[in-house]
Amino acid sequence: MSGVPDDLELHAFIDGELDAARAAAIAARIEADPALARRVAAFRADKEMLKRIYAPVSDRPVPEEWIARARTVRKQPAVSWRLVGSIAAVILIAVVGAFAYLNMKPMGGDQVVHAALEARNHSVRAEKSLVVAAGESPGQYDAVLSAAVATKVRAPDLKRLGYRLAGINLYGKAAELLYRDRENRLFTLYVRRSGGTPRFDQFARNGLRVCVWEDEELSTVMTGNVSTAAMQRLASLAYTDLVL
């Protein structure tokens, strides 16, 4: 087996499916290779995001009709397991995609998105602005953020994906966290109390990638000049760190 882990083996490592010796070898490589560590962090973020988004259907039983159909399929000779895996993946994506469309499509009204973009564009004045020094831990601002949104949250640490917390703007009962990468590109996380309707959505707006993630308690809007995949990873890590 090659010493350099491919993506399939990295996923097996994350899922705890490797033997102890190989897992230890990969862990050492991750520790020594920042690029590999970022890739593993991205995979973990994707996995966590999928867990949270599709949790409502993960525990549902398989429909009896599907089981009945599976039992009536005639056995075919020389089946390609690669083909079977591909078909299963397509079915899974279709089922999960249909659920996401029916149950997680954007709700009416984009007030929170409008507020987040106004904050990012400095169209509204912050009541208070805090500058976060390069060496400071985001955890030092957990209390400030929790007080702003009137619920216990944490200031997410996005260093694993190349962004550090650079500042916080407070707007009454809302807060905007500003993150910068090495090229000084801005990623923002706007958070306030939710109206109680869960929502997950990602789209382009005003030349930016926007991700809206709402649960029963919090509304979060993340914006950045990033790709769709990068936004998925950033949003997953930010939301996870925010609420856990």
Token pair listed for 85:
């895996």
* Closest-CA residue to 180 (of 211, 134, 214, 212): 134
Domain boundary among 74, 104, 134: 104
Q: Domain tally for the chain?
A: 2
Q: Check residue 64 and give its pLDDT.
A: 67
Residue range(s) defining the domain that contains residue 89: 7-104
Half-sphere exposure of 153 toward its Cβ, with a 13 Å CA cutoff?
A: 29
Q: For the whole model, what pTM was predicted?
A: 0.61
Q: Quick one: how far is CA 51 from the chain centroid?
A: 10
User: How confident is the model at residue 40, as a pLDDT?
Assistant: 85
For 190-244, what is each residue's pLDDT tens digit? Answer: 999 998 788 888 999 989 999 999 888 999 999 999 998 899 889 988 988 898 6
Q: How many CB atoms lie within 10 A of CB 208?
A: 19
pLDDT band at 103 (very low <50, low <70, confident <90, very high): very low
pLDDT tens-digit map of 27-50: 898 888 888 888 888 888 777 766
Q: Give domain status of residue 97, yes or no.
A: yes
In a domain, 201, yes or no: yes
Q: Is the dihedral of CA 45, 48, 50, 53 positive or negative?
A: negative
- Which stretches does DSSP call E strand in the chain? 128-131, 164-171, 174-180, 186-193, 199-205, 208-214, 218-224
